[in-house]
Structure 1
Amino acid sequence: MQRLLVALLAAFDAAIAAAVGLVVLLAPLTLLWTLAFGITADWGALWPLTGTLWEFGHGVPLAVTIPDELLVALAIPAQAASFAVSITPLAFLLFTLLFAARSGARAAAAGTWLLGVLSGTVVFTAISTAVALTARLDAAQTPLLLAIVLPAAVYFVGALCGAVRVAWEEGDGGILDRLHDRLDVHEDWAPVPAAVVRGAAFALVGVVGTAALALAVMTLFRGGEVVALFQASRVDALGATVMTLAQLVYLPTLIVWAASWLAGPGFAVGVGTAVSPAGTQLGVVPGVPVFGLLPENSSMWMLIVVLVPIAAGAFAGWAVRSRLVWEGTPLGTAQRAVIAVGIAVVTAGVGGIAAVLANGSMGPGRLSEVGPAALPFMLALGLEVLVGAAILLLSPRHRDELAEERTDRWIAEMSELEPSQAPVVPVPGIPLPRAHDQAFDDTAPLDDVRGFRPPTGNRD
């Protein structure tokens, strides 16, 4: 009965996650549709547009085809009639990931995490299949297989990560506990996996937080250029609202671009362009308001920003090492080296996946290459985090840390002894307890000690 209830709750969570994502798109689109076209609008195109954008928000690329009458009306060249748009607005994807992780964690807390993950994924796959089959646009087409698989894969990854995190800590009575038992055989290596994941989380939080701060600072200093591009677009209030909402859903994507800039490789805004701390090379940039944040030039001195990922790695190394000392599990050099490498690999892997989603095409011609290159970003981020983590994890142990370890070891050894075996330290003026009551008379009041005088307040 409990397993059935967990499966039903996980399926309900998946349905809610998909429904909320679709409604978040459908509600503003309905309002904008009404304001733009009135009551007599073609409402039949609203659902295909909503479903297509929902798929696009989960990493599905769009193949855009501009109708011939629109080409003539806007004087668009014929070679620009068809192009791909593949830069994912990561806001929708992150929402699904977090919602799925919460569902997986609840299933793991109930003791049946695998059933919960599979149940939720099956329901989400069914919903994505229904959306892919019913929401088809001629002007913006999506590959049918990717439209089904990618949203389901996003939900599965989120639910799996949330479930494994809880089940690893609390136990699941199954495969994770058996894996725990195998690791516990090698006592020195048992804390390594958890330390790697914990350190990578700290490193990612540090990099993402600093990238978001850098984006906020650029908005503060170059907000005038953004406003100027809004004014140059000559759109009405409805058009400005649409542009603002579109840029907001791309905010996490822009944070990935900023993280790539901090790591050193930077990103591109078209073929043959580069925006990095070492220099900025820009040609004709589209008049998208958010592109007003791009720096017009750079200096070699800006390369100092690569210290940010190094500092994030050092922060991760410090957090992991402090946790190990607090838990009383100091590790050897080999284990700490593996932890440092693991933190760098996991951080680079997550950064690479984010770069793949934040990189691609956003239009015809030169706009076919926009965003950070995944491989250079992965390598730079991994190496910088490795340097920072290794500095803190492999540095010589402080004497306070060694003293704390010796104290913990002494307490552990003393707690294993029987009271009668505990060593008795003689104190002048205090008689030693007799053998038969040594276990009970651990202390003696000082007032009963013959010849005891309290210290006086006179000093030489």
Structure 2
Amino acid sequence: MTVMEMLRGARPSDDADGEGSPATPWLPDSARVILIGLATGLLSLLVVLVPTVLGWMLDPRPGASLAEPFGAAASLWLLVQGAHLGAGATVVAFVPLVLGALAVWGASYGAGRALEAADVEDEFVADLVPRSVATVAGRWWLGYAVAVALASALTLAGSLPLRWLSLVVPLVVVPLLALAIAGRRLARDADILGPRFDALVAPEAARRAWAPAMRGLGLLLGLALLVVVMAIVLRWGSVSSLQGEAGTGFLGGVLLAGVQLASLPNLALWVVSLLAGPGFSVVDGAHTSLTGSTSGLMPLVPVFGAVPEPGSHPWVTRLLVLVPVLIGGYIGRRSLVSVARLSSPRTKASVAATACAVVALTVGILDGLGGGSLGAYRLSDMGASAVWMTLTLGVELVAGALAVVAWDAWRLRR
């Protein structure tokens, strides 16, 4: 029996006839749902806490107490969910997107187990959702908030202080995303959206653009991730050398490698910015673009050994800016498939442009969520500029998409 099943009081018992029947829950429904929310957060915290404490026990710091790895684990758990760490000029705000996605997925699983206790046939609240669903969601969030509060208190024992204003992300944004995902799963089996949502109908162009946008986004990020992997393979000597110089030991090396693997999507977004034109910076003074790379004092992060050597790049590398334009053409082609063949050019162009805008905005949001700071001064602003990347990428995608739409319109007129 899992912890979630025990909290739900799901153990069967034998009745007078010897047949299995549900036992009387050992806790009221309200308290049980709150405990599910608390368990959701604490189990997620344990995933970070256990390896952190094990690493400290294998390589303890002289004079440090056992409370320090607990505080560090709590800080890292909150960091993964979007909180910022540091004091004064030092800011650590870098979220490995894979770990962040896993944190939201784990929270959504716990929220889904809690919502199983909701009565979907209950009356609607303000014509939005059933009252029981809203109540269960609120109680689950309360339990999760208690887990976040406990982790926040643990950070006081560590050396990575929490920036308290950023706590709104793990306290509000992550639970809301988890509840939205869990609610969508529940909506597949029951009608939990009230009449008020009937008026919230997306424009036709947006609904038609969704599928082309997701295909284009997958192609763009997949290609960028492939570039990252190829760069690591081609410069494996530098990467492995930095890994050895880190001096983290076996367990620390495994954890460092795991964090870098979880950060590959972040690096893929940097490559997207490189292809779009703005480029990216590993540290202040070390900028990489299609024209060339400048040098700078790099942090001792092994994967940064894959960054190109300082100097000017051959002129042919500037042609890589056509990659987003070609992907925009692909999005335009998929947009034409999603509408009727004899639709007006204006309709086709609006669907294609909307799909490109969705891709550019999604990339910018992901880059903003991933953060870009590992310390102070030269490490305070690293990665790509989400704003400039979104703008330039959007223009290039739209240019490629509209070119395909215009070509299609010319062919139809012949």
Which TM-score bucket, shorter chain as reference?
0.7 to 0.9
Pick from 76, 93, 110 the counterpart of residue 100 of structure 2.
93
Match of 2:196 in 1: 175
Question: Which secondary structure does the structure 2 equivalent of 1:274 belong to?
Answer: strand
For 2:328 and 2:34, how far apart are their aligned partners in 1?
38
User: Which structure would you say has the larger Rg?
Assistant: 1
Once the two structures are TM-superposed, the CA of residue 92 in structure 1 deviates from its matched residue by 2.3
- The answer to whether the 8 A contact 1:359-1:373 is kept is no
Q: Does 1:351 align with 2:363?
A: yes
Change (3 A) 1:104 1:230: closer
Change (3 A) 1:21 1:304: farther
Supply the RMSD in Å over aligned alpha carbons: 3.9
Change (3 A) 1:118 1:335: farther
Question: Which secondary structure does the structure 1 equivalent of 2:285 belong to?
Answer: coil
Pick from 368, 378, 403 the counterpart of residue 380 of structure 2.
368
Q: Does 1:127 align with 2:150?
A: no
**Matched letter for residue 212 of structure 1:** L
Q: Does 1:213 align with 2:234?
A: no
For 2:249 and 2:100, how far apart are their aligned partners in 1?
30
Match of 2:328 in 1: 313
- The answer to whether the 8 A contact 1:263-1:381 is kept is yes
Question: Which secondary structure does the structure 1 equivalent of 2:156 belong to?
Answer: coil
Pick from 324, 338, 341 the counterpart of residue 323 of structure 1.
338
Question: Which secondary structure does the structure 2 equivalent of 1:361 belong to?
Answer: strand
Match of 2:164 in 1: 144
Counterparts in 2 of 1:255-270, with a 5 A limit?
Answer: 255-270=268-283
Change (3 A) 1:103 1:33: closer
Change (3 A) 1:46 1:195: same
Counterparts in 2 of 1:408-423, with a 5 A limit?
Answer: none
Once the two structures are TM-superposed, the CA of residue 378 in structure 1 deviates from its matched residue by 0.9
Pick from 300, 304, 314 the counterpart of residue 291 of structure 1.
304
**Matched letter for residue 317 of structure 2:** M
After superposition, the C-alpha distances for 1:67-113 in whole angstroms (9 at most, x for unaligned) are xxxxxxxxxxxxxxx622222222222123445667889979x7958
Q: Unpaired segments of 5 or more residues in structure 2? A: 1-28, 122-128
Question: Which secondary structure does the structure 1 equivalent of 2:293 belong to?
Answer: strand
Counterparts in 2 of 1:18-57, with a 5 A limit?
Answer: 18-37=41-60, 42-57=65-80
**Percent of pairs identical after alignment?**
25
| Of 48-57 and 344-353, the range deviating more from structure 2 | 344-353
After superposition, the C-alpha distances for 1:378-412 in whole angstroms (9 at most, x for unaligned) are 1111112212332344543598x99xxxxxxxxxx
Once the two structures are TM-superposed, the CA of residue 207 in structure 1 deviates from its matched residue by 1.4
Match of 1:453 in 2: none
Question: Which secondary structure does the structure 2 equivalent of 1:362 belong to?
Answer: strand
For 2:225 and 2:350, how far apart are their aligned partners in 1?
30
For 1:314 and 1:13, how far apart are their aligned partners in 2?
47
After superposition, the C-alpha distances for 1:257-312 in whole angstroms (9 at most, x for unaligned) are 22222222111122222111221112222232111100114233212222332333
Question: Which secondary structure does the structure 1 equivalent of 2:86 belong to?
Answer: strand
After superposition, the C-alpha distances for 1:32-70 in whole angstroms (9 at most, x for unaligned) are 1221239x98333333222111111122111158xxxxx
Once the two structures are TM-superposed, the CA of residue 250 in structure 1 deviates from its matched residue by 2.4
Question: Which secondary structure does the structure 2 equivalent of 1:269 belong to?
Answer: strand
Question: Which secondary structure does the structure 2 equivalent of 1:268 belong to?
Answer: strand
- The answer to whether the 8 A contact 1:352-1:377 is kept is yes
Once the two structures are TM-superposed, the CA of residue 234 in structure 1 deviates from its matched residue by 4.5
Change (3 A) 1:119 1:194: farther
Change (3 A) 1:149 1:355: closer
Match of 2:256 in 1: 243
Q: TM-score, normalised by structure 1?
A: 0.68
For 1:61 and 1:283, how far apart are their aligned partners in 2?
25
For 1:162 and 1:379, how far apart are their aligned partners in 2?
33
Q: Does 1:60 align with 2:83?
A: yes
Match of 1:379 in 2: 391
Question: Which secondary structure does the structure 2 equivalent of 1:311 belong to?
Answer: helix
Change (3 A) 1:196 1:149: same
Counterparts in 2 of 1:100-115, with a 5 A limit?
Answer: 112=129, 115=134
- The answer to whether the 8 A contact 2:34-2:143 is kept is yes
Change (3 A) 1:301 1:123: farther
**Matched letter for residue 139 of structure 1:** S
Counting matched residue pairs gives 369
Once the two structures are TM-superposed, the CA of residue 246 in structure 1 deviates from its matched residue by 3.3
Question: Which secondary structure does the structure 2 equivalent of 1:136 belong to?
Answer: helix
Once the two structures are TM-superposed, the CA of residue 324 in structure 1 deviates from its matched residue by 3.1
For 2:185 and 2:394, how far apart are their aligned partners in 1?
23
After superposition, the C-alpha distances for 1:146-175 in whole angstroms (9 at most, x for unaligned) are 22444530332354367569969x974523
Change (3 A) 1:10 1:386: farther
**Matched letter for residue 382 of structure 2:** V
Match of 2:347 in 1: 335
Match of 1:222 in 2: 235
Once the two structures are TM-superposed, the CA of residue 330 in structure 1 deviates from its matched residue by 5.7
For 1:10 and 1:392, how far apart are their aligned partners in 2?
53
**Matched letter for residue 84 of structure 2:** P
